[in-house]
A and B are shown apart, each in its own frame.
Chain A
Amino acid sequence: MIKLQLPISEAAIRELKMGDEVTISGLMVTARDAAHKYIHENWPDWLKPIMENSMIYHCGPVVKKHDDGSWSFVAAGPTTSIREEPYEAAVMEHYKVRAVIGKGGMGETTLAGLAKSGGVYLHAIGGLAASLAKSVVKVHDVYMLEELGVPEAFWHIEVKDFPAVVTMDSHGGSLHKAIKAQSDKVAEKLIFG
């Protein structure tokens, strides 16, 4: 198990290899569909200090608002990442984001982007929402809650020992490509005999 502390350097990220199991601690931000569309249309500067050498978590949490106005995450597993394929490589390069955390993996454009700008794709376990919410120790802030709604807002969170697996690295390795190539062979045999 490799412990990653945020912020993290490009050099440290480039050391990671497909299959590495990691835990993450520090400050990161959630962003999913509407957030990525918004970034791509506006490239806001206010995200720079939040994202630089940090990570984006593809997550739309169930949250609880407390009487003092603070928030906590009640359920917070990853959402499917491939929907951000049109945006992610550019977002990571622009803001120097060192990893995205999600599920299901991403495509060729992101894989090439990881190599170019120095990043990895971290796979969290889908549906592990009750457990992963425990790793979110504090909600520091929330941005654009009114415009985007709870699932789609930017939640600036502090995580501790958040578990994930490197399934795409900065050297062209992708577990998703490898598994698909293998299952394609089996499917072809089952379908065409």
Chain B
Amino acid sequence: MIQYDAGRVKNQLLELIRLAATDLPEDVVESIRNARENEPEGSSARSVFGMLLKNIELAREESTPICQDTGTNIYMVYIPEGVSMRKLTALIHEATSEAVDKSYLRPNAVDSITGKNSGNNIGEGQPFIHFEEWDNDYIEFKLMLKGGGCENVSTQYKLPDVGLGAGRDMDGVYKVIVDAVNQAQGLGCAPGILGIGIGGDRTSSHLTAKSQLFRKMTDTNADAALAELESKLYADLNKLGVGPMGFGGNTTVLGVKVGTLHRLPASFFVSISYMCWAYRRHSMILNTNGEVSYD
């Protein structure tokens, strides 16, 4: 069974948080570079993309957060049989609190009744940590920082949707997603990346949508029908003209990632998890020898 040194893992997790907050993954940066090239010289969209790229560089160089809203910290943790989830949770909490002290994270946990900020980014349900057991002998921590602006424009539809003429099929799914992105405009810090969950119940549907956001920008869906839906949505949503920040432009979404779950005969949910352009996610593998590698 995997043995680890708690103090060391806490520091390794702190580095994972630092990377997530300050270092935008290369696949995302590349898609922003491409979006910039796709806007005409002298347009405000092109100038906005230029500023985003400079900010990405500055945050990486100076090790400061790309965005001040360091968001909900969403962890997906994959563990071998027998690893204590409670102990790993405690280490994540320790690293989180230290990350606030180091200004990598903003204290973002507010008591819903009293309005009191906990001051260390820890509270009920914060950070969000989801564990799964797997067959590998190592542990993987995936971390995404998802800000409030883009979470607020994330949404869930149930089909049929009479107003949109959206039935209980893939065409209906397509229609509600177009509506969601049009309603979002620039509010979620466009261009966004969409994680879509089709099926499930209200909870599992949203979790599937969010899980899709851990995929690489450049991957292709293994399911042919979903791959087709992803590319059709990507092409059509970029006709909306919302553009970066909602200033108008050719890029409204940088990517679309769709996953499905079985559903009840009575329920047909479509969940849309809208991620801002500051698509902050990194992962860390903790090997049996205590060494880590980051992606």
Binding site for B on A (CB under 8 A): 34, 59-64, 74-77, 79-80, 82, 103-105, 123, 125-131, 133-134, 148-152, 165, 167, 175-176, 179-180, 182-184, 186-187, 190-192
Contacts and interface: CB of A to CB of B under 8 A. Distances in A.
B149 A79 contact: yes
B187 A82 contact: yes
A130 B55 contact: yes
Most buried by B among A59, A75, A186: A75
B130 interface: no
Interface stretch (B8-16, B86-94, B107-115): B107-115
Given A151-B108, A190-B178, 17 more contacts: A62-B65, A62-B105, A63-B103, A104-B187, A126-B67, A126-B245, A129-B55, A129-B67, A133-B68, A148-B117, A151-B117, A175-B246, A179-B247, A180-B185, A183-B185, A186-B182, A190-B239
B248 interface: yes
B285 interface: no
A128 B48 CA distance: 10
B66 A129 contact: yes
16 contacts: A34-B115, A60-B69, A75-B64, A103-B149, A103-B245, A104-B187, A127-B276, A129-B66, A129-B67, A133-B68, A148-B117, A149-B110, A149-B116, A165-B44, A179-B247, A187-B178
Give the interface size class of chain B. 35 or more
B66 A130 contact: yes
B17 to A, nearest CB: 13
A126 B117 contact: no
A42 to B, nearest CB: 15
Q: Across chains A and B, which 5 residue pairs bring their CB atoms closest together, nearest first? A: A149-B117, A130-B59, A187-B182, A75-B68, A75-B65
Contact of B64 (A133, A167, A192): A133
Contact of A128 (B52, B187, B248): B52
Contacts of B64: 62, 74-75, 129-130, 133
B223 interface: no
Contact of A152 (B117, B119, B182): B117
Interface in B13-58: 44, 48, 51-52, 54-55, 58
Given A125-B52, A149-B107, A183 B66 contact: no
Contacts of B70: 62
Given A80-B152, A179-B248, A186 B240 contact: yes
B246 A184 contact: no
Nearest to B249: A179
Contacts of A104: 149, 185-187, 246
A127 B246 contact: no
Interface in B235-284: 236, 239-243, 245-248, 276-278
B189 interface: yes
Contacts of B119: 149-150
B276 A183 contact: no
B66 A191 contact: no
Contacts of A149: 107, 110, 116-117, 119
Contacts of A75: 59, 64-68, 103, 106
A79 B69 CA distance: 8
Contacts of A192: 165
Nearest to A153: B117
Contacts of A183: 182, 185, 240-242
A82 B184 CA distance: 12
Contact of A187 (B66, B106, B179): B179
Given A130-B62, A190-B236, A77 B245 contact: no
B193 to A, nearest CB: 13
A134 B58 CA distance: 10
B170 interface: no
A60 B67 CA distance: 10
Contacts of B179: 187, 191
Contacts of A131: 51, 54-55, 58
Interface in B94-146: 103, 105-108, 110, 115-117, 119
